[in-house]
């Protein structure tokens, strides 16, 4: 994959994540449209009245208490998919650099860089990019964690990543929510509270609180993770452009 294809796949994954919240409404709309056609084609008044009643029931389905309880669950799953899409984006980015732009990666030395377990060479790595990603992950780099992601970008690529302070806190909260929904049954745990301790959200949650995600919150996380991906893409693309230009100039001088 090229760097542009990595970004394109990320955007596609975000669209798929967003579509989960509208899936139920889409099914209702299709059903209502089908019933409308049947109603229009029926000549019996009683049949048309029954169909009309069913259409009203479908149109008000999301207002029912039963489905209303599902909205936070659906919105929560959108957040899970959004954060997972970002993690995949970063992994694909590392693979892309490993396969196509290895000279752009600067392997840090000193105490910040751990040892490499060479048994990774015995694992099923299809490309150099897979190998590079495996080595990066051995250095306690997790793309579910903002500080870890920023450390990778700075130490390995020489890139300073930053958004507005509030936006970075939203990234942290989104990742924390994802972990709680996937690993803790949606109940706030100590790890969640630790992740948020230096953010404006630190006092908004309590231990064992049940997370209830609204559609507006899910949209907010979608927006900030999309912005983060585009920001990283722009900086990495500029980095690669500089490296490639330097190599071209070096080749011309030699010739």
Asked whether residue 156 is assigned to any structural domain, the reply reads yes
Task: Please list the pLDDT of the chain residue by residue as tens digits (255 residues).
Answer: 899 999 999 999 999 998 876 655 566 667 778 877 887 877 777 777 878 877 777 666 656 655 666 778 888 999 999 999 999 999 999 999 999 999 899 888 644 456 766 666 666 667 889 888 988 888 889 998 999 999 999 999 999 998 998 999 999 999 999 999 999 999 999 999 999 999 999 999 999 999 999 888 999 999 999 999 999 999 999 988 855 444 444 444 443
Asked whether residue 45 is assigned to any structural domain, the reply reads no
Asked whether residue 46 is assigned to any structural domain, the reply reads no
Q: What is the pTM of this model?
A: 0.78
Class of residue 216 by CB neighbours under 10 A (exposed 0-12, middle 13-18, buried 19+): exposed
Distances (CA, A) of 164 to 33, 167, 228: 44, 5, 10
Asked whether residue 42 is assigned to any structural domain, the reply reads no
- In angstroms, rounded to a whole number, what is the distance separating the alpha carbons of residues 166 and 200? 8
> What total of structural domains would you count in the chain?
1
Asked whether residue 136 is assigned to any structural domain, the reply reads yes
Asked whether residue 61 is assigned to any structural domain, the reply reads no
Helix (H) or strand (E) holding 180: helix 165-183
Q: Residue 132: which domain range?
A: 3-22+71-254
Asked whether residue 183 is assigned to any structural domain, the reply reads yes
CA dihedral 124, 128, 134, 140 (to 10 degrees): 180
Asked whether residue 169 is assigned to any structural domain, the reply reads yes
**Closest alpha carbon to 74 in 33, 113, 18, 122:** 18
**Closest alpha carbon to 226 in 21, 1, 3, 17:** 17
**Closest alpha carbon to 82 in 15, 153, 1:** 15
């Amino acid at each position: 994959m090229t760097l542009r294809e990595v970004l394109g796949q990320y955007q596609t994954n975000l669209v798929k994540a967003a579509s989960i919240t509208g899936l139920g409404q889409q099914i209702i709309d299709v059903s209502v449209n089908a019933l409308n056609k049947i109603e229009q084609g029926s000549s019996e008044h009683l049949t048309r009245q029954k169909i009309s009643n069913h259409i009203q029931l479908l149109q008000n389905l999301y207002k029912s208490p039963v489905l209303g309880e599902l909205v936070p669950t659906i919105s929560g799953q959108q957040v899970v998919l959004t954060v997972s899409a970002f993690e995949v984006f970063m992994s694909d980015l590392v693979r892309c650099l490993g396969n196509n732009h290895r000279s752009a990666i600067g392997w840090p030395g000193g105490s910040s860089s751990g040892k490499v377990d060479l048994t990774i060479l015995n694992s099923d790595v299809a490309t150099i990019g897979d190998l590079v990603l495996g080595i990066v992950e051995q250095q306690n780099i997790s793309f579910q964690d903002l500080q870890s992601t920023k450390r990778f970008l700075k130490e390995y690529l020489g890139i300073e990543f930053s958004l507005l302070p509030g936006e970075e806190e939203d990234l942290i909260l989104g990742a924390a929510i994802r972990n709680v929904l996937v690993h803790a049954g949606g109940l706030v745990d100590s790890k969640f509270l630790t992740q948020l301790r230096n953010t404006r959200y630190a006092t908004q949650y309590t231990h064992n609180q049940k997370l209830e995600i609204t559609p507006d919150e899910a949209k907010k996380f979608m927006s900030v993770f999309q912005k983060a991906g585009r920001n990283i893409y722009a900086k990495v693309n500029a980095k690669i452009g500089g490296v490639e230009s330097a190599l071209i100039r070096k080749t011309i001088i030699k010739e």
